[in-house]
């Protein structure tokens, strides 16, 4: 029987992305196809310790490569937020492997680490950038960007951006996400929601991409609770992977930096205080949408307010009211998923809030600065 195209298929982007394959069980056929498409013969896997040591996911990838005599080495010393020390070890391991393609397996940290390793290796050695095949096991959507975030020696989140860092191949196999811990899976789903919502008020995003974001938002609201209720539901997981793809469709916009204020705040909170990026989105997205109902441009408000239609929710009668209602819907989803938290849990000192706000805005003297500080103050339990 022919499989539904809504769950299985492929897509190719004419520039960097040469192939994206999706569907439960697609790893076994997609990875060999991508190796052939890219003309590569020996793979260097970048992943994390947990996936390597506590699941069989990396072993599955290794076995597919070994069947083609294409396995080079696996590097799994990548910690959360990709510390620079791990990146340097990865560069040496890549050099020793003799590989001609990098395959990242895992969430945003291994995928970003693979990009950072490729960038550092090219900077040190010259020549062409390595091709990169990403196999995500979370919903963070790092595989759709040409940027890589990592943590420097001072514990600050920094990054590199180059169009050639965008993965050349992506495999979305929902079966590989089954071992992903629930909190990580669901919180990165809110991270994908963060991408989609912030793209509605991000400058220069083409209207067709915004329509994809509406579809992503609707599916994330539908399938995240279903996935929580039935963690073994592979169909819901595949739908969520497709929603994450729609939330951050691969386009040439890397020069714009962070998607929006929620992401910028997340960058300031994540590495410094050891908060996962999915959780930072759980903290900041709803309050930022609430603030945007006050400070965003009229056009941005209208794009964002229209989300209620795609969620099947009636309008309040004003774009500002609709944005406030959307913020409440996001907060309710976070709560239903069991992801509600606060800055006190992560020991973020209130004295650091002005610094975090200033870093996110890029200034401390504008009219929005005190509003963002107040937003952060609201992320404590007694606020």
> For residue range 99-146, what is the model confidence (pLDDT) as tens digits?
999 999 999 989 999 999 999 999 999 889 999 999 999 999 999 998
* Angle CA 337–340–346, to nearest 5: 135
The domains of the chain are located at 9-177, 182-377
Tell me the backbone φ, ψ of residue 204, rounded to 5 degrees.
70, 10
The pLDDT value recorded for residue 256 is 52
pLDDT single digits (tens) 197-213: 999 998 778 888 899 99
Does the pLDDT at position 372 exceed 90? yes
Give the pLDDT band (50/70/90) at residue 226: very high
Classify 107 in phi/psi space as left (phi over 0), alpha (psi -120 to 50) or beta.
beta
Does the pLDDT at position 50 exceed 70? yes
Does the pLDDT at position 4 exceed 50? no
* Angle CA 225–185–332, to nearest 5: 40
The pLDDT value recorded for residue 11 is 59
pTM score, whole prediction: 0.93
The CATH code that applies to domain 9-177 is 3.40.50.1970
Pairing between β-strand 9-11 and β-strand 19-22 as defined by DSSP bridges: antiparallel
Rounded distance, CA 171 to CA 156, Å?
30
The b-or-e profile of 269-307 (16+ CB within 10 A means b, else e) is bbbbbebbbbbbbbbbbbbbbbbbbeebeeebbebbbbb
CATH 3.30.1490.20 applies to domain 182-377: no
Q: Give the torsion sign (CA, 244, 151, 358, 339).
A: positive
Rounded distance, CA 383 to CA 140, Å?
29
The pLDDT value recorded for residue 382 is 82
């Amino acid at each position: 029987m022919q499989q539904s195209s809504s769950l299985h298929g492929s897509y190719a982007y004419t520039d960097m992305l040469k192939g994206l394959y999706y569907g439960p069980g697609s790893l076994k056929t997609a990875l060999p196809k991508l190796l052939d498409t890219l003309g590569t013969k020996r793979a260097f896997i970048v992943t994390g310790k947990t996936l390597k040591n506590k699941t069989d996911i990396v072993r599955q990838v290794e076995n597919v490569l070994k069947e083609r005599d294409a396995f080079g080495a696996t590097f799994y010393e990548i910690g959360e937020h990709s510390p620079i020390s791990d990146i340097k070890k990865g560069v040496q391991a890549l050099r020793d492997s003799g590989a001609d393609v990098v395959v990242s397996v895992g969430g945003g940290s291994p995928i970003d680490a693979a990009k950072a390793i490729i960038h550092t290796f090219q900077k040190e050695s010259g020549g062409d950038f390595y091709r990169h095949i990403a196999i995500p096991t979370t919903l963070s959507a790092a595989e759709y960007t040409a940027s890589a975030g990592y943590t420097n020696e001072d514990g600050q989140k920094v990054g590199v951006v180059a169009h050639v860092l965008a993965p050349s191949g992506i495999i979305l196999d929902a079966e590989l996400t089954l071992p992903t811990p629930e909190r990580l899976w669901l919180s990165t789903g809110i991270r994908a929601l963060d991408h989609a919502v912030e793209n509605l008020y991000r400058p220069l995003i083409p209207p067709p991409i915004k329509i994809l974001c509406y579809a992503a938002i609707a599916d994330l609201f539908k399938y995240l609770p279903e996935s929580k209720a039935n963690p073994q539901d592979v169909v819901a997981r595949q739908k969520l992977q497709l929603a994450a793809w729609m939330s951050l469709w691969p386009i040439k916009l890397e020069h714009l930096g962070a998607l929006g204020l929620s992401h910028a705040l997340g960058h300031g909170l994540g590495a410094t205080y050891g908060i996962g990026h999915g959780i930072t989105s759980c903290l900041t997205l709803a309050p930022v949408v609430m603030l945007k109902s006050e400070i965003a441009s009229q056009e941005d408000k209208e794009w964002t307010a229209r989300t209620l239609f795609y969620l099947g929710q009636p309008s309040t009668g004003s774009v500002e009211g609709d944005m406030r209602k959307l913020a409440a819907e996001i907060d309710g989803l976070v709560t239903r998923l069991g992801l509600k938290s606060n800055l006190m849990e992560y020991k973020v000192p209130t004295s650091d809030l002005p610094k975090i706000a200033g870093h996110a805005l890029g200034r401390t003297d504008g009219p929005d600065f005190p509003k963002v500080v107040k937003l952060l103050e609201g992320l404590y339990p007694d606020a």
